[in-house]
Amino acid sequence: MTARSAGKTSTAKKAPASATAKKASAADLLAVRKEPAPERPAVRKAPPLDPGDGPGCSPGSTTTRTVLGAHPVRGGVVVRVLRPFAREVAVLVKGRRIVLHDDGDGLFSGLLPLLRKVPAYELRVRYDEGAGGTELEVQDPYRFLPSLGDLDLHLIGEGRHEELWKALGSRIMTHEGVTGTRFAVWAPNARGVRLTGAFTYWGTGLPMRSLGSTGVWELFVPGLGEGTVYKYDIARPDGSHTLRADPMARRTECPPNTASIVTESHHAWSDGEWMERRAPVRRTSRRCRCTRCTWLPGGRGSPTASWPSSCPRTCATSASRTWSSCRSPSTPSAARGATR
């Protein structure tokens, strides 16, 4: 009886020890779970840029269209976003939220694997401190193709575009299914052009894209509409900057303010009936006859005669003048000889 009771006592004494061990192991497990897990990169890093290709090195340079936005590369699609003063930038693509790497100077980038072409995506930008900051849902202006066609650029380059008010300036439009405003300005000697305004807090603007050798800088900004105040931050050839209003703007601020304003005409023309019943437009042609007296100084037979005495300049451009009108009262023989 004593041995059995001793065994029971020893067994009873060992039970609390095992329970304590179980409690200790559970506490250790909870402690391990509470420890912060090591941070893992949300997305692979994008290939490094050349020193001269960074937007911070040459604001609004011609490399903007090849640096910013999404571009297919080997191994996936690389995305680069320029958002100065942002704490975090994430890409929302196909229902997934992917945080981009902070490369410094407001540039965020990442390589999205397993993608062969550029998908439709949106940006989530957070400027507040902490994980609970407010995120702004915005569209990336650099994921859209240029809205100006090759014909417009060709005519602008030749100086023969007859509807520049439709090609340049600010124009509200729907581009690739998204409503926004297209900005375009002709600045052939500029090193770079940025779009700035109230939407950028008049700080660091949005670099515009150079469309080849035409001297046109263009950018489509989603979400901007009528009433947006803006200017162009132009980088001169010497590297200095100047803020300029849009020369093709259809609305501006009242003096002394000089910024341009995005506007859209809402006037409805009601002259359709008159346009239909009006008389057809008569097309007239003017003929101009060129004679020797229009370009030969003095005319034949009078080498000492001067231009005004031999033939007035107006005879070369007037449609009502004839051969005889080139005669001059001062030198009738010279003029008559030149018109034979």
- The yes-or-no verdict on residue 257 having pLDDT over 70 is yes
pLDDT of residue 183: 96
- List of E strands, the chain: 69-73, 76-82, 88-93, 96-99, 101-104, 107-112, 121-126, 135-138, 169-175, 178-186, 192-197, 206-207, 209-210, 216-222, 229-235, 241-244, 260-261
Residue-wise pLDDT for 89-108, tens only, equals: 999 888 888 899 888 888 89
Q: pTM of the predicted model, to two decimals? A: 0.64
pLDDT of residue 203: 80
Residue-wise pLDDT for 117-154, tens only, equals: 888 888 999 887 765 667 888 888 998 888 898 999 99
* Amino acid in the structure at residue 13: K
The more confident residue out of 319 and 260 is 260
pLDDT of residue 95: 82
pLDDT of residue 205: 83
Q: Of how many residues is the chain composed?
A: 340
Q: Judge whether 221 and 180 are in contact, CB under 8 Å.
A: yes
Upstream peptide bond of 256 is cis (omega within 30 degrees of 0): yes
pLDDT of residue 48: 72
pLDDT of residue 171: 94
Predicted confidence band of residue 21 (pLDDT cuts 50, 70, 90): very low
Gap between the Cα atoms of 56 and 310, Å rounded: 66
Tell me what the pLDDT averaged over the chain comes to. Answer: 74
- The yes-or-no verdict on residue 189 having pLDDT over 50 is yes
